[in-house]
Structure 1
Amino acid sequence: MQHWAFKKPPIVRLPPRSNAEVLLVKGAQLGTIAVGLVAVVFALDSGQFVLAPVLMAIVIGLMFSPVASWLERRGANSAVAAAIVVLLFLLILALGMLALAAPLTTWLDLAPQVWAQLQFHMAQFREPMNVLRDLREELRTISGSDNVTVSVEEGTAVESMAVLAPAIIGQVLLFLASLYFFVATRNRSRNAILRLCTTRRIRWRVAHIFRDVEQSVSRYLLSITVINVGLGVAVGAAMFAIGMPSAALWGALAAILNFVVYLGPAVMAVVLFAVGLTQYDTLSGSLLPPLVYLGVNLIEAQFVTPQVIGKTMLMNPFVVILAIAFWIWLWGPIGGFIAIPMLLVFYAIAANIVPGMDWHETASADALANRATHAKPRSTLDGPR
């Protein structure tokens, strides 16, 4: 009996890639990623009218999602819970506007007087400004750019408001509709996305991303809101103690601006310095309000916030500054508000894509090396055991 011997196909070994080929492949991959990022930035910029209110609604919806979940556990329909969340948000917004309306109207009426007093106090800086002006004129003479063309744009403020009003109303309506439908359909949307996942491992990762995003963003925004309210009360009391008029207004403004970390307190200090120039006769006296505010803000930033939020929620300050600068450059004040929540979303996604990576903590190199030494080997795509 003859036995047929089946030979295995020969193994074809490709020659190893040269350094130039590896460099070209890596360069092509980085180039593709860079082009994709630029395309995303241009898309966000071009779609600001639609994307800004929708993304703002998602952030606010994540903030109020624990309230909606609590209502649903008490037997409320998802549509009813979403309507209650929208009404609660509008109620909080209306109460804040009513509290600020009276003192803000007073200061708007005093704006011409405040401007005149600011000009009087800033007169002592006129001499250095004159020196700079003379230097500018000399540079213009040297460069030959004496002829200056002044163009006056046509149109009044009323015409501008008539053009902007429909756009603002449309964005507000889009924001409210997006907030309602996001809260009402958040569970169904999550389940629909999970059903699209082909494997159990991917489904497990995506489910954890949804969980971490909702928990981190809602926890951060709710905690920061409570902290900022406390900061506003403390600043208002401090301004009242040093004799600043409309202390409640400055407390509320401090609470609002503190949502934009780093930049908000800086703007608040400048505002208080300008107001201090109108209330005190000396320059040293006008420094009292911003110094008192910065002292209260320092206590909040260094002691209160780390204790309430926890060290695991603290982020790299340099990354925070870059995120705030990027979103403010892209979308203005709305971008400044959503910068930190979007950074938390990125952290949640990255932490589940790269398990074991501590995106929030600032651990030392020795601690990371020690953790890597004692860690158990595990695949990055492993699901729950």
Structure 2
Amino acid sequence: MTSDTTTDEIADDLKALRRAAVLLATLAIFVIAYFARDLILPILLGFLLALTLSPLNRTLQRLGLPAAITATFLIIATSVGIVSVVYFAGGTVAAWSEDAPNIGRQLKNKLSGVNDAIEAVQDASDEVEQMTSSASSGPQEVVVQQPGLLNSAVTAAASTATSIVVALILALFLLASGDLFYVKLVQTFKSLSGKKRALGAVYDIERRVSGYLLTITAINACLGVTVALALWMLGLEYAYIWGIAAFLLNYLPILGGIIGTALVAAYSIITFDSLSYALIAPIAYQALTSVEAQFVTPYLIGKRMELNMVAVFLTVVLWGWLWGIAGALVAVPFLLVFKVICENFEGLETIGNFLGGADKTDIADEPAANSVSG
């Protein structure tokens, strides 16, 4: 009896140590990801880009073209697309950034009624703060001057450009190597069952991630064209810029549509004289993104690539906090990869099932099953 009790206690202690080790390892991964963002982000982008283009790369290879040629062609085409977006939108966005104070003043004048109420509250808060500061005789506050908006924008642009270039080069090497990376991965497993499971998981990840990203890219492109046409018909200037913005922001689930609507609303208010007419543009933008999110994307993505929206939101918030906008953009593909890994390895199926979308058939059958069992 004593030996059995001792064995159970040892087993419980081992489980507790294992859980503590997993928790510490998870925390260490997030700490490393936070401080090594500039190193990890371009590598992650390169792998995601290679996964996305792998089916196209194999299709071109079936035509008899070498892997190096097809990989170079795909990376050049991707680079041309990125450069085209920067060329058509970069100048206008840079001009808007430089003119941000003037745009803010115009928006403030258009919303003078709302601003009066806000300023009244702010003045009252400032008076209370002045009374408090005059009553106290603490040490003087040292204010550190932050870098200007232009310097911050230049630094962010240089960092983004560097990450994109590194990601493109890494994707080129991965695509040009063909199946060499998969072969090396399979060789790390000793048993035949392990090799089969690893190879099946890798191809499943490739198929579903590439299918998701290619489908989302096509949907976003159609949404961008539709938004640009709708805003152009309403008479909003630079409608093509807002179409490009809709294309890019739609990679950011949930928050992308809200940000785009707010930006279109601000620019529409300073463009049109009538406030009621100015609100038509953001309403149209929000309506188009809502139709896309509620009907088009679920229909085209399919059940196997659906994700739990709670998990998506939490993942976007987490990686947005860790890596900013770039982290929020790669959050969903990262979550999809993690979901596929969980579905292909024993012991992780429960997590994969939780990350998946709702199975409406099972939900519909649950009351009937409960009534039968009762």
Aligning the two structures, in what range does the TM-score lie when normalised by the shorter sequence? Answer: 0.7 to 0.9
Query: Which of the numbers 233, 237, 244 marks the counterpart of 1:241?
Result: 233
Whole-Å separation in 2 of the counterparts to 1:48 and 1:216: 26
Gap regions ≥5 residues in structure 1: 1-11, 372-385
Aligned residue for 1:261, secondary structure, equals coil
Q: Distance in 2 between matches of 1:331 and 1:84?
A: 30
**Structure 1 letter corresponding to 2:182:** R
2: CA distance between counterparts of 1:172 and 1:284? 41
1:154–1:216 CA distance, 2 compared to 1 (3 A): closer
**Partner SS state of residue 244, structure 1:** coil
Q: Which residue of structure 2 aligns with residue 61 of structure 1?
A: 50
Change (3 A) 1:154 1:256: closer
8 Å CA contact 1:140–1:146 kept in 2: the answer is no
SS in 2 for 1:153: coil
297-306 or 223-232: which moved more?
297-306
Aligned to 1:259: 251
CA separation of 1:289 and 1:167: change in aligned 2, threshold 3 A: closer
Task: State whether structure 2 residue 29 is matched by structure 1 residue 29.
Answer: no
Superposed counterparts of 1:1-385, under 5 Å:
14-16=3-5, 24-101=13-90, 103-104=92-93, 107=96, 111=100, 113-124=102-113, 125-138=115-128, 141-142=131-132, 149-153=141-145, 170-185=162-177, 187-354=179-346, 358=353, 359-363=355-359, 364=362, 367=365
| Contact in 1 for aligned 2:316/2:331 (Cα 8 Å) | yes
1:285 Cα offset (Å): 3.4
Counterpart in the other structure of 1:380: none
Pick which of 77-86 and 123-132 moved more.
Answer: 123-132
Normalised to the residue count of structure 1, the TM-score between the two structures is: 0.82
Q: What is the deviation of 1:141?
A: 3.5
Taking a change above 3 Å as real, the CA distance of residues 25 and 323 of structure 1, as seen in their structure-2 partners, is same
Contact 2:309–2:357, Cα closer than 8 Å, also in 1: no
> Between Structure 1 and Structure 2, whose CA radius of gyration is higher?
1
2:372 alignment partner in structure 1: none
RMSD of aligned residue pairs (Cα, Å): 3.2
Percent identity between the aligned chains? Answer: 25
What secondary structure does 2:179 align onto?
helix
Q: Determine if contact 2:67/2:178 at 8 Å carries over to the other structure.
A: no
Q: Residue 228 of structure 1 contacts residue 256 of structure 1 at CA under 8 Å; is this kept in 2?
A: yes
Task: Check the 8 A contact 2:98/2:150 in 1, yes or no.
Answer: no
Structure 1 residue 291: Cα displacement: 1.0
Q: Which runs of 5+ in 2 are unaligned?
A: 370-374
Q: In structure 1, what is the Cα distance between the partners aligned to 2:32 and 2:142?
A: 34
Deviation, structure 1 residue 13: 9.3
SS of corresponding position for 2:4: coil
TM-score by length of 2: 0.85
Cα distance, 1:114 vs structure 2: 2.5
Q: CA deviation at 1:336?
A: 1.7
Seen in structure 2, the aligned counterparts of structure 1 residues 157 and 323 have a Cα distance that, compared at 3 Å, is closer
| SS of structure 2 residue aligned to 1:151 | coil
Query: Using a 3 Å threshold, how does the CA distance of structure 1 residues 242 and 150 change in structure 2: closer, same or farther?
Result: farther
Q: CA deviation at 1:286?
A: 3.2
Once residues 18 and 365 of structure 1 are traced to their aligned partners in structure 2, the CA distance between those partners, rounded to angstroms, is 42
Cα offsets for 1:341-368 (capped at 9, x unmatched): 1111101100011469645241245758
Q: Following the alignment from structure 1 to structure 2, what is the Cα–Cα distance between the partners of residues 300 and 165?
A: 30
Deviations 1:85-114 (A, max 9, x none): 211111111222333256546655765543
For residue 15 of structure 1, give the secondary structure of its aligned residue in structure 2. helix
